[in-house]
């Protein structure tokens, strides 16, 4: 009877060991997914970050990258602890998973909160940026961001190409008679912005606010969903 009970206990330990191994594998995959979304977001958005007034967007992405990397490192610790059946390592592993859960949750909540006020920030900040800062001393990164924004989204100005009429750059001698920056042109050549005709610039296509807002909103929703979703999945597995 005692021999049978010992075999039963051994079977249970092996079952729990493999179950924990499977859970850890899914944690590791989840961490890789979280980090991939964070890196992808920064790579895709790095050219537009200068036109945003807040750093919350970038902070959410960096937190996701940190959390994902921590999950992957913790996953390797978990695999080692399971194989060696080291209780102290397993305790450290579960503590780290709790920290990771909180970090991912914070990143997801930040992304969701920023999504709620994205439209207001863009409307208030982008028009002022184009009017006051474009091509001004010390604003080279912002100027590059605006130029890339207009070319990538095939747009001109904040709400329309008419926004550039109030730009300090367009009103200056440096503009050399341009009515819009050259990046508004469908085919960019030197001083093409002097001719503000719909056949030459993105005039009828509209301004950049709506297109940028939709683009950022899609990524913020994805960041929030991944961060909160993976955190909840991990919490469910740990509870189970």
What does the block give as tokens for 48?
Answer: 């537009």
pLDDT along the chain (240 residues), means of 10: 49 67 76 79 69 66 77 76 70 74 71 68 77 88 88 89 91 92 93 89 84 75 66 57
Cα separation values, 35 from 45, 114, 165, Å = 15, 19, 42
Helices 87-116/118-132 angle, 10° precision: 70
pTM: 0.62
The rounded distance, in Å, linking the Cα atoms of 174 and 181 is 11
End-to-end CA separation in angstroms for the chain: 31
Site of tokens 């002022």? 128
- 116-239: CATH class: mainly alpha
Using CB atoms within 10 A of its CB, is residue 95 exposed (0-12), middle (13-18) or buried (19+)? exposed
- Given this model, what pLDDT does residue 126 score? 80
- Which three-class secondary structure state does DSSP give residue 180? coil
Alpha helices in the chain (DSSP H): 2-45, 56-84, 87-116, 118-132, 140-152, 209-239
- Given this model, what pLDDT does residue 85 score? 67
- Given this model, what pLDDT does residue 234 score? 57
**Model confidence pLDDT, tens digit, residues 179-235:** 999 999 999 998 999 998 888 999 887 788 888 877 777 766 676 666 666 666 655
Q: Is the dihedral of CA 231, 221, 29, 100 positive or negative?
A: negative
The rounded distance, in Å, linking the Cα atoms of 224 and 230 is 10
* Domain range list for the chain: 1-45+53-85, 116-239
What does the block give as tokens for 92?
Answer: 């450290």
């Amino acid at each position: 009877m005692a021999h049978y009970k010992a075999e039963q206990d051994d079977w249970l330990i092996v079952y729990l060991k493999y179950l924990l191994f499977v859970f850890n594998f899914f944690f590791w995959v989840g961490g890789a997914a979280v980090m991939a979304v964070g890196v992808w977001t920064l790579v895709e958005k790095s050219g537009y970050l200068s036109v945003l007034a807040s750093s919350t967007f970038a902070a959410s992405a960096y937190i996701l990258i940190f959390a994902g990397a921590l999950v992957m490192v913790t996953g390797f610790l978990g695999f080692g602890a399971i194989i060696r059946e080291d209780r102290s390592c397993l305790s450290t592993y579960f503590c780290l998973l709790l920290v990771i859960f909180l970090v991912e949750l914070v990143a997801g909540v930040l992304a969701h909160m920023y999504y709620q006020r994205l439209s207001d920030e863009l409307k208030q900040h982008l028009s002022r940026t184009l009017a006051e800062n474009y091509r001004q001393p010390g604003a080279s990164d912002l100027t590059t961001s605006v130029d890339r924004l207009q070319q990538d989204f095939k747009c001109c100005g904040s709400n329309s190409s008419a926004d550039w009429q109030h730009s300090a750059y367009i009103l200056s001698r440096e503009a050399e008679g341009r009515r819009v920056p050259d990046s508004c042109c469908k085919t960019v050549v030197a001083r093409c912005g002097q001719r503000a005709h719909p056949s030459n610039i993105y005039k009828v296509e509209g301004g950049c606010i709506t297109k940028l807002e939709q683009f950022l909103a899609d990524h913020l929703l994805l960041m929030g969903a991944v961060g909160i979703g993976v955190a909840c999945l991990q919490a469910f597995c740990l509870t189970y």
